[in-house]
Amino acid sequence: MKCPKCNSKSMVKNTIYKTGFTLRYRQCLNSRCKYRFKTKEMLADEWNYKGIVLKIKRIVDEVK
C-alpha cells in the first residue's frame, strides 16, 4: 500500500484481527516522510456499483 502523504511504499508494523474487520498499522518507507497510519479492512459480500456511481455524481455536483 502507498503512503497517503507522499505516495511512497509503506510496510505493515502490526496487525490486529477483530470480529468483522482487521486493523493494520503501517509506516511509510520513505526516509524523509515515515508517516504512520492505519487501515481498516472489511470483507464486502458484493459491490453496489450503481450506489457508488450515484454517490460520486452527487459529490461532483456539490463541487460544481
- Exposed (0-12), middle (13-18) or buried (19+): which is 28, by Cβ within 10 Å? buried
Q: What tens digit of pLDDT does each residue of 9-63 get?
A: 999 999 999 998 999 999 999 999 999 999 999 887 777 788 888 889 999 988 8
Q: What is the pLDDT of residue 16?
A: 97
Domain boundaries, the chain: 10-63
- Report yes or no: 1 and 22 within 8 Å, Cβ to Cβ: no
* Residue 8, all three cell numbers: 511512497
> Residue for cell digits 511509510?
28
Give just the sign of the alpha carbon dihedral 43, 46, 48, 49: positive
What does pTM read for this prediction?
0.66
Q: Taking Cα atoms as reference points, which of 38, 36, 23, 28 lies closest to residue 7?
A: 28
Q: What is the pLDDT of residue 46?
A: 76
